[in-house]
């Protein structure tokens, strides 16, 4: 991996804001490799399905970064900002998936008839 400053990442992204930009391929690989570390202490177990979700979250994150780069304020390192977006999105998706599974097992509460 090439070491870049925050401004280096941002300048490369600003050159071409399409996902075909090679810098997005680098970010994708970083997200996919680091995201499991970011959520390893969560209560979700990893399986093949989660690995596929990680790839989807990585794609979502790249699109979000491309569309919302102006929201980056420099308060944290750029890669940390990107990884925080990815971790939050993955945890959100895992929670939604867990809710769907739990609601199927338990069913929805019945409303008493009056």
Give the predicted TM-score (pTM) of the model: 0.77
Q: Please tell me the distance from the alpha carbon of residue 13 to that of residue 109, in angstroms, as a whole number.
A: 49
- Sequence-distant (6+) residues with CB within 8 A of 78 are 6, 9, 10, 72
Give me the residue spans of the domains in the chain.
Answer: 6-102
Q: How far is CA 70 from CA 7, 13, 64, 67, 100, in A?
A: 13, 11, 11, 8, 34
Q: Are 21 and 12 in contact (CB under 8 A)?
A: yes
pLDDT digits (tens, 9 = 90+) for 42-98: 555 555 567 788 999 999 999 999 999 999 998 999 999 999 999 999 989 888 877
Q: Are 58 and 35 in contact (CB under 8 A)?
A: yes
């Amino acid at each position: 991996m090439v070491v870049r400053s925050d401004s280096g990442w941002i300048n490369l992204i600003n050159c071409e804001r399409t996902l075909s930009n090679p810098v997005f391929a680098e970010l994708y690989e970083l997200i996919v490799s680091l995201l499991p570390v970011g959520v390893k202490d969560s209560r979700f177990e990893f399986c093949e399905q989660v690995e596929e979700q990680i790839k989807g979250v990585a794609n979502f994150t790249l699109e979000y970064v491309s569309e919302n780069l102006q929201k980056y304020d420099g308060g944290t390192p750029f890669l940390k900002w990107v990884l925080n977006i990815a971790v939050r999105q993955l945890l959100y998706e895992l929670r939604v998936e867990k809710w769907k599974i739990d609601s199927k097992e338990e069913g929805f509460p019945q409303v008493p008839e009056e």
